[in-house]
Amino acid sequence: MKRIGFFFLSIILLAGLAGIAMRLASPSPLPAVDRETFERANQLYQAGNYAAAASLYEQLTAKGIANPDLFYNLGNAYAQTGKTKEAAEAFASAAQLAPRDAQVAGRLAQAGETPRLPVPLTANELALGALLVTCTLALALVGSRHGLFSRSNV
C-alpha cells in the first residue's frame, strides 16, 4: 500500500514539474496594449512597410519588453530595410532569449553572426533543474525512510 501511495505522489510531482517546465518554456505574454502594437507592426511588415514596422517594434523594445518574437521580427524588419548591423543585434537579442530556436539561429547566421555554441542553460532551465534534483532527493529520502525500496515490503 505504501508503494502505491509513493508511486502516485511521484506521478503528481512529475506532472507538476512538467507543468512548470511548460510555463517557463513559453514566452511571457504581452499586455493587451503592447500586443495590439505588436500585431499592428506585424501587419505593416506583411504589407511591405518595413520601416514603419521597425518603428513600432522599436517602441516595444524601448518599453523594456524582452520577447524573442519581438526581437526576431525587429531583426527581419531591419534586414528588409538594409540595416544589417541593427538586424544582427536584434537577432542576437532574440538568440539570448530563445537560445535553442532554429529560426533565430538561422537568421543570426545569415546576418553574419555566429551563434554561441554550446548553448548555455537559461536561468529558467537552471531553476527547473534545481527543482527536479530537489524533488528527486526528497522522494528518495521519503522512500528510504519508509522502507519503500527494500525487497521485504512486497
pLDDT digits (tens, 9 = 90+) for 123-141: 777 777 888 888 788 878 8
User: Is 53 found in the same domain as 91?
Assistant: yes
User: Is 59 found in the same domain as 7?
Assistant: no
User: Is 148 found in the same domain as 97?
Assistant: no
User: Is 145 found in the same domain as 128?
Assistant: yes
Rounded CA separation 60/89 (Å):
16
pLDDT number for residue 152: 62
User: Is 84 found in the same domain as 41?
Assistant: yes
The most distant pair of C-alpha atoms in the chain lies apart, rounded to whole Å, by 73
Does residue 115 lie within any of the structural domains?
Answer: no
Cβ-contact 9, 139 below 8 angstroms: yes
pLDDT number for residue 115: 61
Divide the 154 residues of the chain into consecutive groups of 10 and give the mean pLDDT of each group: 70 74 65 89 96 96 90 95 92 86 84 66 76 82 76 57
Does residue 117 lie within any of the structural domains?
Answer: no
Q: Could you list the residue range(s) of the whole structural domain that residue 50 is in?
A: 32-110
